[in-house]
Chain A
Amino acid sequence: MADDLVLENVTKRFGAVTAVDDLSVTVPQGSFFALLGASGCGKTTTLRMVAGLEELTSGTVRLGDKDITGLRPYRRPVNTVFQSYALFPHLNIEDNIAFGLRRRGIGDVAKKVADMLDLVQLPGFAKRRPAQLSGGQQQRIALARALVNEPRVLLLDEPLGALDLKLRRQMQIELKRIQTEVGITFLHVTHDQEEAMWMADTVAVMNDGRIEQLGAPTDIYEFPASPFVSNFLGQSNLFAADVSGTDGDDLLLTAHGERFAAPTTRARSTDGRVWLGVRPEKVRLAVPGEDTPATHNQVRGVLTDTCYAGVSTEYLLKTPWGQEMSVFSANAAAGEPLAPGTEVVAHWYPPHSFVLDRPTGEGDEIARYSADPLGVSP
């Protein structure tokens, strides 16, 4: 579309460090687009390059047909909601929101400011100072100050990072509502995978200056492209496996002497060394003797940990080859959670599996790709 934000081969180096590495991405007009990644992955640098606050080492940034790569920030039709809010402490709320309008000489400031205060649900705050507002209120004002300029793209740099959990949930819903209402392209940077999944139409998972996977939250979650993504967005159990053949539409795999099946359509690699993955909540537990569907993939094991978390119970079990596997079980049925030490059979429907490429060397000695490699997922 006319107003897509396009980054082409964007690279940013700080001295010897490459923060953003040959990144190309198109943010469709009107979408809620999340850049998700751990701190230091280059997501904020990418955002700042779109805002014009950081110069590109190479590459181009286009907005619609226009190349904005070299434009100074004040000449770009984009606005930013800063992580620290960066409200002007010497101006009241009204003057803060009106700042951008006045710089461009746009009239009807009072009405626009009042409309914005209504939009962020803080009417009557016009004459207050930023210091008199709570964090959540300042966050809304920062949003209003950026939105009032009707930017072609709104950039949000971890805008909810400083808020407590409850307020963050509330603001996530609020942001989603506002985005739907104003229809402006939102480019949202976050390290919170739930936040990204919750709000964005499209999520780009960044790692080490590159985009590892881009797509709708459900697509990324259900069929991750790499071990990193499979464990950054939620958790995954990954087993080092080898493809041993096919059976109709299914791929047959061998891992640690056990046989598994997965649909070919759920495989990123169909021969040689692969990772067999499954999400913990897709796995069900049976005690020995209990019937399990014959077609299901099965792993025997002993429970090592049982963690009751209200809506679900999180089990950790040890496989015969010494790998730990997690299983989330919804607390829908009556009865006590299984106790640690219980022998169980973990089984799952083969189409819930996913198969990823496993380069030489990976997974040969690692018993299990850690469920939380960076310590970032909750």
Chain B
Amino acid sequence: MTALAGAAAGAGLTATPPPPVPRRRRWIPYVLLLPGGLWLLLFFVVPSVQLAGTSLYDRSGSLELGYTQTFAVGNYVDAIAAYWPHLVRSAVYAGIATVICLVLGYPLAYAIAQKSGRWRNLMLVCVIAPFFTTFLVRTLAWKSILSDNGPLVGIFRAIPFVPDDFRLLATPAAVVCGLVYNFLPFMVLPLYASLERLDGRLLEAAGDLYAKPATAFRRVTLPLSMPGLIAGTLLTFIPAAGDYINAELLGTPNEYMIGNVIDSAFLVRLDYPQAAALSFLLMATILVLVFGYVRAAGPDEVV
């Protein structure tokens, strides 16, 4: 839900205005927009308005007794007061995961796009292959990989100076690892798309114009892959910030992210107004962060 909201916001930011068209064909863009627009209206705008109403309900009501529609802005204040650490943690975990995805994904995307030759398609399939299994199963697999009697912990404990009670599961590192693993393809694919278009002759030209390889990367490759980089980081950060499966399965309540809180507020505590308020807070946090990021990192065309 929140991921959908964020993605829609991201798409809005990167869209370019349609080119001018002859007058008599003016209606065509609207026809093309119609199916998607209707879908978003029904399943995004309407529920959002509904959710906004819910977030302002009088919290003294309950699911059995019914709620009164008020304008209880205090719900937001209460939600921030109670759960700001989870909001911050979500942003921090998602941020770290995004940076790691970028560090892992950029060279990978570059290698596939520019250096893989006839292996390109196979490598792309390998990037997408994890999606053939469900998100849940993949995360559960990580649970056993990282578990206390799993192979990885054994290796770590064999290293001198690593304490015997060293563990990976149920730590922030485990949650971030899970996020990185689950969202890496979302980083790699947009990066691949823009690096694949990169004209190798531009790098030759840069070299010819006295740019060392590192400078050529910084001045030519990086700026030209910026649209893919921004799309990739957004597609990683936004769903990662709203994710709760990784924290649930690989962490403890100490690693719970805002998604876990919203999940339990809706389904366990049945505190609908607070859950709705938290959802909007998450959306707002993501929007502010993403907007600031795109303003800072984006080339002129993106904003």
Q: Which residues of A contact B (CB under 8 A)?
A: 51-53, 72-74, 78-80, 82, 84, 86-90, 99-100, 103-104, 145-146, 149
Contacts and interface: CB of A to CB of B under 8 A. Distances in A.
A73 B224 contact: no
A124 to B, nearest CB: 21
A78 B207 CA distance: 11
Given A90-B223, A90-B224, A90-B299, A103 B205 contact: no
Contact of B209 (A52, A53, A90, A145): A145
Nearest to B226: A90
Given A74-B212, A103-B215, A86 B207 contact: no
Contacts of A99: 206, 209, 211, 219
A53 B211 contact: no
Interface in B184-206: 199, 201-202, 204-206
B220 interface: yes
Q: What are the 3 A-B residue pairs with the smallest beta carbon separation, nearest first?
A: A100-B209, A86-B205, A103-B210
B208 A88 contact: no
Given A89-B224, A90-B223, A74 B211 contact: yes
Interface in B205-233: 205-212, 215, 219-220, 223-224
A149 B207 contact: no
Contacts of A89: 202, 224
B220 A79 contact: no
Contacts, number: 59
A24 B17 CA distance: 56
A74 B210 contact: yes
Contact of B205 (A80, A90, A149): A80
Given A88-B202, A90-B224, A103-B215, A73 B208 contact: yes
Given A79-B208, A99-B211, A149-B210, A86 B223 contact: no
A126 B299 CA distance: 19
A113 to B, nearest CB: 13
Given A86-B199, A90-B224, A90-B299, A104 B210 contact: yes
Contacts of A86: 199, 201-202, 204-205
**Interface majority SS on B: helix, strand, loop or mixed?**
helix
Interface centre among B199, B207, B208 (most CB of A within 10 A): B208
A73 B211 CA distance: 9
Given A89-B224, A90-B223, A90-B224, A72 B204 contact: no
27 contacts: A53-B208, A72-B207, A72-B212, A73-B207, A74-B208, A74-B210, A74-B211, A79-B208, A80-B208, A82-B201, A84-B199, A86-B204, A86-B205, A88-B202, A88-B205, A88-B206, A89-B224, A90-B220, A90-B223, A99-B206, A99-B209, A99-B211, A99-B219, A100-B209, A103-B215, A104-B210, A146-B208
A31 to B, nearest CB: 21
Nearest to B209: A100
A145 B223 CA distance: 19
Given A86-B199, A90-B299, A103-B215, A51 B208 contact: yes
A90 B202 CA distance: 11
A70 to B, nearest CB: 15
Contacts of A78: 208
A103 B209 contact: yes
Nearest to B212: A74
Contacts of A74: 207-212
A133 to B, nearest CB: 16
B297 to A, nearest CB: 14
Nearest to A103: B210
Given A100-B209, A145-B209, A84 B201 contact: yes
Nearest to A84: B201
Contacts of B205: 80, 82, 86-88
A111 to B, nearest CB: 19
A86 B206 CA distance: 9
Nearest to B301: A90
Given A146-B209, A149-B209, 19 more contacts: A72-B207, A73-B208, A74-B209, A79-B208, A79-B209, A80-B208, A82-B201, A84-B201, A86-B204, A86-B205, A87-B205, A88-B205, A89-B224, A90-B224, A99-B211, A99-B219, A104-B210, A145-B209, A149-B210
Contacts of B208: 51-53, 73-74, 78-80, 146
Contacts of A149: 209-210
A103 B204 contact: no
Nearest to B220: A88
B204 A53 contact: yes
Contacts of A51: 208
Given A90-B224, A90-B299, A53 B207 contact: yes
Contacts of A82: 201, 204-205
B33 to A, nearest CB: 27
A81 to B, nearest CB: 10
A25 to B, nearest CB: 21
A312 B215 CA distance: 56
A78 B208 CA distance: 8
A83 B232 CA distance: 33
B218 to A, nearest CB: 11
Contacts of A80: 205, 208
B117 to A, nearest CB: 15
A145 B210 CA distance: 12
Contacts of A145: 209
A82 to B, nearest CB: 6
Nearest to A148: B209
A51 B215 CA distance: 18
Given A84-B201, A88-B202, A90-B223, A100 B207 contact: no
Contacts of A103: 209-211, 215
Interface in B37-69: none
Contacts of B201: 82, 84, 86
A89 B199 CA distance: 10
A90 B197 CA distance: 13
A197 B219 CA distance: 39
